[in-house]
Amino acid sequence: MITLSINGETREVDVEADMPLLWVLREELGLRGTKFGCGISQCGACTVHVDGKAVRSCVTPVSLVAGSEVRTIEGLGTPEAPHRVQQAWIDHQVPQCGYCQSGMQMAAAALLEEIPEPTDEDIDKRITNICRCGCYERIRAAVHTSAKGA
Ligand code: FES
Ligand code: FES
């Protein structure tokens, strides 16, 4: 058994220690908002927070996050009380197909915790997630709006 803290709740999972966190979230805990894209740490679709830092869950063994605070998109905000990043995403109508967007929002929220007013260069350097629909301009604009809403 591995004990995890996910979105503020304690959860126990009976899995191999090296199972990727992404699999645990999606298949064991039913948290399907975190997406599988490449599985090799390239695309960022699987981004979650571990102790406030953006982490690619497809290459993170679950045993590494025991004792840490894990936050997924389900814990970022709610439809009634969206996180400022989510509100900015809505205001800018950022998503196209939407597949990459939960990972993008997690990456953006973590960036703003570290750099409250990021420049375009900071955003490009720190949010390396891939959007196959090419929504990068709207993502940048939404990050700037989120920063102002701090
Ligand atoms: S699925 Fe994890 S980085 Fe692509
Ligand atoms: S919105 Fe389609 S991949 Fe990003």
Ligand 1 mutation pick, 46, 50, 131, max ligand atoms within 8 A of CB: 46
Separation of CA 126 and ligand 2 centre (Å): 18
Mean pLDDT by 10 residues, the chain (150 residues): 97 97 98 98 98 98 97 96 97 98 98 97 97 97 89
Using DSSP, state whether 69 is helix, strand or coil: strand
Ligand nearest to the CA of 37: 1
Beta carbons within 8 Å of 134's beta carbon, 6+ residues apart: 96
Residue 148 pLDDT: 83
Residue 150 pLDDT: 60
- Domains, the chain, with CATH or none: 2-75 (3.10.20.30), 84-148 (1.10.150.120)
DSSP annotation of 88 reads H
Strand partners, 61: 20
Ligand nearest to the CA of 35: 1
Using DSSP, state whether 132 is helix, strand or coil: coil
Separation of CA 36 and ligand 1 centre (Å): 6
Amino acid at 69: E
Contact 72, 99 (CB under 8 A): no
CA-based torsion, 100, 129, 142, 5: positive or negative: positive
Q: Whose CA is nearest to atom 3 of ligand 1?
A: 41
Q: Which two tokens stand for residue 107?
A: 């990456």
| Distance between first and last Cα of the chain | 39
